[in-house]
Structure 1
Amino acid sequence: MSDRHIELSLDKRGVRCTAKLLDDRAPITCEAVWNALPLSEDVYHAKYARNEIYALFPAFADREPPLENPTVTPIPGDLCYFSFNGTQLGTQAYGYEPGADVKAGATVVDLALFYERNNLLLNGDVGWVPGIVWGQVVEGLDQMAEACNDLWRAGAQGETLSFRRA
């Protein structure tokens, strides 16, 4: 199989980067994401994991992928996949607006980009939160990291994170 690539974008800011899918390390997750593309939703900046932006989606795989290629210490450029039950995210502490798909019982998929170092996936409410590393940014990370820092400082309101085939 030849390498597959996707484009991530912060649409309002007009910033894009390209990532290679890690089909050799997370084949089930890569296939699930690839088949669901394009995906676009409101972007959030992490509260607990530090240098992370992400979007939440309703479950899109026939079955949730197993924990393949897991990490609790993502590095710059890692794309991670997390799966949560809505009750895990449905508290006011997370700050999701009504309408965000965090309903009790619903599976919520979190697709995340880590843009800088020193990340630790440890949540005070639930403990360790391993993610599946399914992609790695290969082009445009510097510009995306700058936009992510701006998103942290200026806010995410009205901004979307999009994933599409490159």
Structure 2
Amino acid sequence: MAEATVPERFITVSLERRGVSCTAKLLSDRAPITCAAVWDALPLGGDVYHAKYARNEIYALLDPFAAEEPPLENPTVTPIPGDLCYFTFTKTQLATASYGYEEAAPHRERSTVVDLALFYERNNLLINGDAGWVPGIVWGSVVDGLDRMADACQDLWRAGALGETLSFARA
């Protein structure tokens, strides 16, 4: 019996205000449940944050969109440049003041929040002072435009994220 081939799927990841985007390939062979959940929910987007602990990461906090949260498939605690990662947190996990989220942050009202992240440079380590190791699901990999996106992410780090949106859409 022939093995079913999963079609290649691509998405565009954008920083809207900065007018910068990159193209990523979904890793459907390694994280099929997560990829299906994201693909079916696209387009997605929200306020962008730059990581405080993980280092070279930008992310958006979103309402859960999968019928059931994906299992920890294709996990990592050391994402590489171009990795797209999926995390799930409860609101209590993000409530510590050290995270720096404002009182009006959208996740404060949610019992569960999904974090869709893009890692744009090397030397990332997913460890948190409050919780320890925080493995993420690697569900996509940037195949074009990472250099432009990394420059925009560095600008976001230095100039600030207020008013910027991180979006994910089918390519």
Q: Same fold (TM over 0.5)?
A: yes
CA distance in 2, matches of 1:102, 1:21: 26
Shift of 1:50: 0.3
Kindly state the Cα deviation for residue 104 of structure 1 after the two structures are TM-superposed: 6.9
Query: Do the aligned partners of 1:9 and 1:16 also contact (CA within 8 Å) in 2?
Result: yes
- 3-state SS, counterpart of residue 142 of structure 2: strand
Task: Name the CA distance, whole Å, in 2 between partners of 1:104 and 1:152.
Answer: 26
Q: What is the aligned partner in structure 1 of residue 100 from structure 2?
A: 95
Segment drifting more, 88-97 vs 113-122: 88-97
Aligned partner of 1:113 among 109, 118, 138: 118
What amino acid maps onto 1:93 in structure 2? S
State the partner residue of 2:86. Answer: 81
Among residues 128, 133, 136, which one is paired with 2:141 in the alignment?
136
- 2-side partners of 1:79 and 1:116: how far apart? 12
Name segments (4+ residues, structure 1) moved above 6 Å.
none
State the superposition RMSD in angstroms. Answer: 1.1
Q: Show CA shifts across 1:4-62 (max 9, x none).
A: 00000000000000000000000000000111110110000000000000000011111
The match for 1:6 is 11
Q: Secondary structure at the match of 1:103?
A: helix
Counterpart position of 2:163: 158
- Size of the alignment, in residue pairs? 166
Change (3 A) 1:15 1:105: closer
For normalisation by structure 1, the TM-score amounts to 0.97
- TM-score, normalised to structure 2, is 0.94
**Displacement of 1:93 after TM fit?**
1.3
CA displacement 1:78-113 (0-9 Å, x = unmatched): 000000001100222111123323337711000000
Report what 1:50 is aligned to: 55
Structure with bigger gyration radius: 2
- The answer (yes or no) to whether the contact 2:27–2:140 under 8 Å persists in 1 is yes
Q: Which runs of 5+ in 2 are unaligned?
A: 1-5
Distance 2:137 2:54 in 1: 14
Seq. identity, %: 75
Where does structure 1 lack aligned partners over 5 or more consecutive residues?
none
Whole-Å separation in 2 of the counterparts to 1:104 and 1:122: 25
What is the rounded CA distance, in whole Å, between the counterparts of 2:42 and 2:109 in structure 1? 25
